[in-house]
Amino acid sequence: MSLPDGVTRRAFDGTQSLATTGEPVYGESTSEGWRQWVPDRSKLGAMFELGVDTGLAGGETVLYLGAASGTTVSHVADFAGPTYAVEFAPRPMRDLLEVAADRDRLFPLLKDARAPETYAHVVEPVDAIIQDVATRGQADVALSNRRFLRDDGRLVMAIKARSEDVTREPDAVFADVIDRLKTGYEILDRQSLEPYHDDHLAVIARPR
């Protein structure tokens, strides 16, 4: 699996790691303008480390759902094109605004990913939806935001089992979420994100 243009491997403190160019955000190591992409702190970074074929090539227009303080979406904006970053909580949004100040392709939106109609007037058609939301109804979030995704686009999703139902076995939760996703998406790949993230499943899909 090849990495997107703008993502490479560099040596940080003697260890090879994923890296993008840009201003540091979360205390990650830097070297000659490159910043380390720490997979333990990023579901997408873990996907790249594990060899998941995300379909991302670099330069895409991206809708990022669940941007939080900007740890992962900052790396995305370093290698992608226009990147719309949706985050619901005001406190991490303040951090995200600081991250965006150094990135002219990153557009923070203080919105709820479960209500895409509230930002439909802002977001253009996108090549990829990257989703990392810690809420019930993760499949419904992906389905409701499908309206923005081009016909040949990709959904790159990290399913968090404990956010759906902490009482059930993760594999059962993953199966239910995928069944729901199939009403609007064709599933291309799925892979556990262990050992980087427990009880998380990467899902790559395209719109039906």
Give, for 142, the enclosing helix (H) or strand (E).
helix 138-144
Q: 167 a known binding residue? A: no
CA dihedral 111, 112, 117, 123 (to 10 degrees): 50
* Residue 110, CA distances (Å) to 84, 99, 118, 167, 173 in order: 11, 14, 10, 31, 29
Q: 112 a known binding residue? A: yes
Q: 20 a known binding residue? A: no
* Residue 93, CA distances (Å) to 128, 141, 161, 176 in order: 22, 19, 24, 31
Q: For residue 171, how far is the Cα from the chain centroid?
A: 21
SS3 state at 122:
coil
Q: 199 a known binding residue? A: no
In sequence order, which residues have a C-beta less than 8 Å from that of residue 49 and are 6 or more positions away? Answer: 18, 39, 196
Q: 71 a known binding residue? A: yes
Q: 72 a known binding residue? A: yes
Query: Which residue ranges make up the annotated binding site for S-adenosyl-L-methionine?
Result: 71-72, 87-88, 112-113, 132-135
The binding site comprises 71-72, 87-88, 112-113, 132-135
